[in-house]
Amino acid sequence: MITQALLRALDKKALWLVAILVALAIAVPAANLMIPPGQPGHVPIYVVTLFGKYLTYAMLALALDLVWGYCGILSLGHGAFFALGGYAMGMYLMRQIGDRGVYANPVLPDFMVFLNWKELPWYWMGFDQFWFAALMIVLVPGLLAFVFGFFAFRSRVTGVYLSIITQAMTFALLLAFFRNDMGFGGNNGLTDFKDILGQPVQAATTRGALFAATAVALALSVFVCSMIVNSKLGKVMIAVRDAESRTRFLGYRVEYVKLFAFTVSAVMAGVAGALYVPQVGIINPGEFEPANSIEIVIWTAVGGRGTIVGPIIGAVVVNMGKSYFTGALPEFWLYALGALFVFVTLFLPKGIVGLLGQWRAVSRRHEPARPAAGEAQASDAEERGEDPTTLIGDPQPKPAE
């Protein structure tokens, strides 16, 4: 019964995607650790880390797609939830340094010693324990999204106005985290991490484990999103996206539907940020930049919003292009990104996944119709010089005598 419920929650594409992600979680670390360098099939450690980062971006794009693609909420503040989850993980990693820092203080991080802090702030308490950090990774973005969404959706703020205030929220957090007296490292942020769960962050085994954890987390996110959008609640979300006023007139509490989707999406973004930080080795206020939230929208649009697979494809493809072009043509990358978004908006409104779907529909339309089984047998009989009526029968049978 449980297996049937799980299969019903996943459509065919999502099921294949989950299987691929689970396979990658096993195959990529194994190819790095078990195949010697220089041998065919070996995956270098920098590739493991790079694609682990891409998977966190894919999870972030999927989180945005849940609210934008299925509920019609264009949020320009998801970069904030991503950064908050990242800071929660960064605070845990900083507490693990202990007396191995530059100033050898067993309690205070190096930046606090440098700024002449005398004691650890109260909001840093508990971050020496992983379970507490994991709780904050989920709770802080989720609580912020719940409070923000409660007032915004209850006030029926929609459309471009909602997008603007989500961007304003992100910018306000950017300015706050830039301040040294906030106790989050100011402009430099949090870095120089040593251990995670007692293991060296830079070790190959740890990198492989982080990649596997990211792939599994993305697979779970795909499952959760698929379960939501294929449920009755998902149908109501789509109704809110397509005709919010009609849905409200039918008696649904539209603000509660939006609030649920927005909160779940923020939690997913926070988990993505937490997995991002130990792989890149730093978290700073630059992650709150409004431009980052706009980039997430571009990833989702390029892949195809309103689909489970599209945002993941868009995030990976765009960031692979970014990794290449920022090295080859760094001064033209932002122009190329803007042009890509304009092109997709005008000519590919359904993104890469929509384009593939249209191509499949056209190819099916041009396929020749297959003859029926009887007609095929009659055609074969004619080629052999036999009487086809002996195979397909008399089309006008004589009446019984």
Residue ranges making up the domain that contains 34 = 11-288
Q: Residue 10 pLDDT more than 70?
A: no
Tell me what the pLDDT averaged over the chain comes to: 88
Collapse the DSSP code of 195 into the 3-class scheme (helix H, G, I; strand E, B; otherwise coil) and give the result.
strand
Does residue 278 form part of some domain? yes
What's the pLDDT at 373?
53
Q: What local confidence, expressed as pLDDT, does residue 385 receive?
A: 58
The string of pLDDT tens digits covering residues 55-90 is 999 999 999 999 999 999 999 999 999 999 999 999
Residue 109: which region, alpha, beta or left (left: phi > 0; alpha: psi -120 to 50)? beta
What's the mean pLDDT in 35-63?
A: 94
Helix, strand, coil % in the chain, rounded to nearest 5:
70, 0, 25
Helices (H), 69-192: 78-95, 110-114, 130-154, 159-178
Examine residue 188 and state whether it is found in any structural domain, yes or no.
yes
Tell me which of 368 and 248 has the higher pLDDT.
248
Asked if pLDDT for residue 235 goes beyond 50, the answer is yes
For residue 379, what pLDDT is reported?
Answer: 57
Average pLDDT over residues 267-285: 96
Tell whether 270 is covered by a domain. Answer: yes
300: how many CB neighbours lie within 10 A of its CB?
Answer: 29
pLDDT of residue 324: 86
327 in a domain, yes or no?
no
CA distance between the termini of the chain: 59
Please say if the pLDDT value at position 23 is more than 90.
Answer: yes
26 within some domain: yes
C-alpha distance from residue 160 to each of 69, 236, 238, 280, 396 (Å): 15, 22, 19, 33, 68
Residues of the chain with pLDDT > 70, as a percent, come to 89
pLDDT tens-place string over residues 334-343:
888 888 888 8
- Its pTM stands at 0.88
The total number of structural domains in the chain stands at: 1
Asked if pLDDT for residue 392 goes beyond 50, the answer is no
* DSSP-based three-state secondary structure for 339: helix
Is 325 contained in some domain? no
Asked if residue 389 belongs to a domain, the reply is no
The DSSP letter of residue 186 is: G
Residue with tokens 């830079």: 202
Task: Note whether residue 284 is domain-resident.
Answer: yes
pLDDT-derived band at 380 (thresholds 50, 70, 90) equals low
Strand 190-191 to 199-200 pairing? unpaired
Average pLDDT on 126-145 reads: 96
